[in-house]
Amino acid sequence: MAADDRLEDDELARRLREAHRRVRMLPAADRERFSRRYLAICDLAKRDPDRAATRLEAFLTDLTSDFDTPDAQ
């Protein structure tokens, strides 16, 4: 079984892919800041998946709260 086959059922892997997709769609200035945090979470996931899941949840909350409110013009 290939490693990618096992990831299909992994909730953390699915959420990391979703976070990656959302970070990719950000404006360049914001994308750089969030990319660093995302990469740190991915690195942590290799060693401590439970802690990475907790950090990913906070990351997704920050990502959503920063960009769900309309810009004041």
**pLDDT tens digit at each of 73 positions of the chain:** 445 555 445 899 999 999 999 999 999 989 999 999 999 999 999 999 999 999 999 999 998 886 655 554 4
Write down the residue that tokens 């942590």 correspond to: 44
Give the model's pLDDT for residue 72.
47
Pair of tokens at residue 44: 């942590």
pLDDT at 29: 87
Rounded Cα distance between 41 and 36, Å, is 9
pTM of the model: 0.76
